Amino acid sequence: MKIAIIGMGPAGTGVVRTLRRHDSDAEITMFSAENVPPYSPPALGDYLITGNKEGLFRHEDDFFKTYNVKQRPGEKIVQVMPEEKQLKTQNNEIFDFDHLVIASGSSLYAPVKGADKKGIYNFKTLDGADQIKRISQEDKTAVVLGGGFIGVEIALCLAKIGIKPTLLNRRGWIMPRLLDVETAGYVEKDLRAQGVEVLLNTEGKEFVGNESVDGLLTSNGKTLTADIYIAATGVKPNIDFIKDTDIEYDQGIVVDEKLRTRYPYIYACGDVAQTIDLLSGKRKIHGLYPVAMDHAQTAACNILGMEREYERPVNINSLKELGFKIIVVGNQKAEEVFEYKTENILRKIYITADKIVGFVLLGDISNAGIYLSLLKKKTNVAKFKHRLLSKGFSPGFLPGMGGVN
């Protein structure tokens, strides 16, 4: 059996690990647009700040040898031919497969004129992080367009290495898709304390300049200039190579519960696959590492004929470089909100129809695992919802664990 995998990120490598764990002797070939060994993108921030590569490569010096995989780094796939069971590389080479896994991930983007100009750095790849590292010195400045999760994470990392970032956000509070105004206030305060200038209600209109970017024209009519520009209002799946096929896509590739496309021998997993959210029941791109891991295991098991369905994901976000810990899970709107707050701590649990549909824990993340488990199991919390945030709340309160019946 010949298995081709597009992408060497967490999803692609996860597929390989699962295949080999189940003793598959399939011939596996991995393609990657980047000419580097597999790495873990969530560790890019730590790498930028400390220069430490351990988190990136997770002690696997030679992934391909360990897992007996043929590697084609730096070979971008430009076309998938589903009926023919073939791929075309950027060098016009044709490659045959029996099974294909599309694990091509996503790229940072901003739907703003000029966002493809030279001088806009891509902090979603190791090469992008290395480029920033090379030019970063004290007193450099940066403009980060996009005050969502990824923009905030990038601005914090830049501030930690002495760069002075300005973060632009279209709405009146940062991370508006994840946080309410009050929670965003705590995060904004910390961003400013760490040296990030936050511009709210400010939209990026156009990256100006000829070939290279010279500045960012904003909705206030000002042009911001900096040494480093980052366009990060969101991420978009890397799916150009299927656009001429009848593989269905929307925001990302549409898959069934086994992660198969309309072709049963072509799978999609990780940031490129659109799967059904546990809470909303709608298909979406979650863009999360644990989701990529579950997808990878699911796709690999199904290739081997071991029937498995993916676990419906929930949004779980945590910013790694703030001065305090924060975890944001699920919806931040509900019929009832239970909360506890002090100057440095904010804990909110969102409940609809007596079920936890989301929570935010800031400054004190204790019991996060318990709340997540209750949310995922859709446990009825009516009998103990008023105690969820009490100091002594423990698993002992839960049904079947010696507590509420």
Ligand X SMILES: Cc1cc2nc3c(=O)[nH]c(=O)nc-3n(C[C@H](O)[C@H](O)[C@H](O)COP(=O)(O)OP(=O)(O)OC[C@H]3O[C@@H](n4cnc5c(N)ncnc54)[C@H](O)[C@@H]3O)c2cc1C
Alpha carbon distance 79, 91 (integer Å): 11
To ligand X, the closest distance from the beta carbon of 31 in angstroms equals 5
Tokens 């992080």 — which residue?
129
Nearer to ligand X, 157 or 226 (CB): 157
- Number of Cβ atoms within 10 Å of the Cβ of 59: 6
Nearer to ligand X, 241 or 371 (CB): 241
The residues, any chain, with a CB within 8 Å of residue 51's CB and separated by 6 or more, are 133
The residues, any chain, with a CB within 8 Å of residue 112's CB and separated by 6 or more, are 145, 204, 205, 206, 207, 231, 233
Long-range contacts of 277-280 (CB under 8 A, 24+ apart): 277/312, 277/313, 277/314, 277/315, 278/312, 278/313, 278/314, 278/376, 279/314, 279/330, 279/331, 279/357, 279/358
Nearer to ligand X, 228 or 334 (CB): 228
To ligand X, the closest distance from the beta carbon of 6 in angstroms equals 5
- Phi/psi at 166 (5° precision): -110, 125
Q: Give which of 73, 59, 93, 107 is closest to 5, Cα–Cα.
A: 73
**Residues near ligand X (CB under 6 A):** 6-12, 31-34, 41-42, 44-45, 76-77, 103-106, 123-124, 153, 238, 241, 270-272, 287-290, 292, 320
Nearer to ligand X, 105 or 114 (CB): 105
To ligand X, the closest distance from the beta carbon of 14 in angstroms equals 8
Nearer to ligand X, 48 or 398 (CB): 48
Nearer to ligand X, 10 or 389 (CB): 10
To ligand X, the closest distance from the beta carbon of 391 in angstroms equals 28
Nearer to ligand X, 232 or 356 (CB): 232
The residues, any chain, with a CB within 8 Å of residue 204's CB and separated by 6 or more, are 110, 112, 145, 168, 216, 217, 218, 219, 231, 233
To ligand X, the closest distance from the beta carbon of 375 in angstroms equals 17
The residues, any chain, with a CB within 8 Å of residue 249's CB and separated by 6 or more, are 237, 239, 242, 243, 274
Q: Give which of 321, 320, 357 is closest to 336, Cα–Cα.
A: 357
Alpha carbon separation from 12 to 291, 307, 402 (Å, rounded) = 13, 19, 42
To ligand X, the closest distance from the beta carbon of 403 in angstroms equals 31
Q: HSE-up of 242 (CA within 13 Å, CB side)?
A: 29
To ligand X, the closest distance from the beta carbon of 102 in angstroms equals 9
Nearer to ligand X, 295 or 355 (CB): 295
Instruction: Quickly list H helices, 80-229.
Output: 126-135, 149-160, 181-193
To ligand X, the closest distance from the beta carbon of 325 in angstroms equals 12
Alpha carbon separation from 91 to 35, 49, 75, 81, 100 (Å, rounded) = 15, 36, 8, 16, 19
Sheet strands (E) in 149-276:
164-168, 197-199, 204-208, 215-218, 223-224, 228-231, 234-237, 253-254, 266-268, 273-276
To ligand X, the closest distance from the beta carbon of 285 in angstroms equals 9
To ligand X, the closest distance from the beta carbon of 201 in angstroms equals 26
Nearer to ligand X, 31 or 338 (CB): 31
Nearer to ligand X, 150 or 349 (CB): 150
Nearer to ligand X, 328 or 334 (CB): 328
To ligand X, the closest distance from the beta carbon of 291 in angstroms equals 7
